[in-house]
């Protein structure tokens, strides 16, 4: 069961949620920059992280699963968030250059189908970042945060899932080393710097970038042996077929054609 949108909003308004937001925003900027002149889609509950892309991006919209609920986003200006079914994003094929998935995959009832929808709306050579709770991290083992619900993943599990959906992993990283304790959020920056060096496997989040690759396949012919059936009644060798009741003498044209040539004197 997915977390309610009000629960997610409350978490990201807390000090611990703001720390998680800052860590993920940094990784997003390292991968995509400011997404200048790009069409960006935020799937799940990724709106806290894509707001920084809006000044330079061509378009930024959000799609929130129906089981989770939707909120008006952004707070100022026209609403850019929509309530969507998990297995059918209401967008045309190959529309977005970048897709960010947060709080989307872990609680999906059909993870492969979920990512195939991401593949469908992603433009050729477009890139998606899938953010999930790391199975070995502390955040997956506590239910006090939204990352403690649903199905966490290891890197190898996420690679296999992404490839099954038709995407090709191109890079990955970890984030959120601070323990999921509210009063420790003020030291999140220090944990991030030390944890990536001393205990990288205990990060709370796993971020994987995947690329939509399209190939032009040229069909190739294959030689195939064809078996032909043997006729039941084969013609006898040397036999000459002759139409019934047809005499060459009765037709002048045939008589001239079949007559033996004259011998020259």
pLDDT at 199: 81
Structure tokens at 37: 């002149």
pLDDT at 210: 97
Give a three-class secondary structure readout of 120-182.
HHEEEEEEEEEEEEECCCCHHHCCCCHHHCCCCECHHHHHHHHHHCCCEEEEEEEECCCCCCH
Question: pLDDT category, 38, cuts 50, 70, 90?
Answer: very high
Residue 170 has pLDDT above 80, yes or no: yes
pLDDT at 162: 96
Structure tokens at 99: 């897709």
**pLDDT above 90 as % of the chain:** 64
**pLDDT above 70 as % of the chain:** 81
Instruction: Please tell me the CATH superfamily of domain 5-211, with its number.
Output: Vaccinia Virus protein VP39 (3.40.50.150)
Please state the rounded mean pLDDT for residues 32-54.
Answer: 95
pLDDT at 198: 82
pLDDT at 118: 96
Residue 233 has pLDDT above 50, yes or no: no
Residue 239 has pLDDT above 70, yes or no: no
Q: Which residues contact 111 (CB under 8 A, 6 or more apart)?
A: 105, 151, 161
Please state the rounded mean pLDDT for residues 36-56.
Answer: 95
For the chain, how are helix, strand and coil distributed in percent, rounded to 5? 35, 20, 45
Closest CA to 184 of 116, 138, 121: 138
Which one is predicted more confidently, 79 or 213?
Answer: 79
pLDDT at 225: 53
Question: pLDDT category, 245, cuts 50, 70, 90?
Answer: very low
Question: pLDDT category, 263, cuts 50, 70, 90?
Answer: low
pLDDT at 250: 41
HSE-up of residue 206 (Cα within 13 Å, Cβ side) = 24
Q: Specify the range with the lowest mean pLDDT, choosing from 74-78, 117-121, 161-165.
A: 74-78
Taking all residues of the chain, what is their mean pLDDT, rounded to a whole number? 84
The string of pLDDT tens digits covering residues 173-227 is: 999 999 988 888 888 888 888 888 888 788 999 999 999 987 644 444 445 554 5
Residue 259 has pLDDT above 90, yes or no: no
Residue 56 has pLDDT above 90, yes or no: yes
């Amino acid at each position: 069961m997915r977390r309610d949108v009000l629960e997610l909003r409350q978490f990201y308004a807390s000090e611990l949620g703001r720390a998680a937001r800052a860590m993920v925003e940094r990784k997003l900027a390292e991968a995509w920059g400011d997404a200048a002149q790009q069409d960006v889609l935020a799937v799940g509950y990724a709106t806290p992280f894509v707001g920084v892309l809006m000044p330079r991006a061509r378009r930024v919209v959000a799609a929130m699963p129906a089981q989770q609920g939707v909120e008006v986003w952004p707070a100022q200006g026209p609403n850019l968030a929509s309530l969507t079914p998990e297995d059918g994003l209401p967008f045309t094929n190959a529309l977005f250059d970048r897709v960010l998935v947060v709080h989307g995959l872990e609680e999906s009832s059909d993870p492969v189908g979920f990512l195939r929808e991401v593949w469908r709306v992603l433009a050729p050579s477009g890139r998606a970042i899938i953010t999930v709770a790391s199975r070995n991290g502390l955040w997956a083992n506590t239910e006090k945060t939204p990352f403690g619900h649903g199905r966490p993943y290891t890197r190898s599990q996420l690679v296999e899932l992404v490839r099954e959906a038709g995407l090709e992993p191109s890079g990955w990283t970890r984030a959120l080393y601070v323990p999921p304790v509210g009063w420790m959020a003020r030291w999140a920056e220090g944990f991030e710097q030390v944890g990536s060096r001393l205990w990288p496997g205990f990060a709370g989040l796993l971020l994987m970038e995947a690329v939509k690759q399209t190939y032009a396949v040229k069909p190739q012919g294959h030689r195939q042996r064809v078996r032909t059936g043997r006729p039941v009644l084969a013609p006898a060798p040397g036999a000459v077929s002759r139409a019934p009741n047809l005499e060459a003498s009765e037709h002048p044209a045939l008589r001239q054609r079949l007559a033996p040539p004259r011998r020259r004197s």
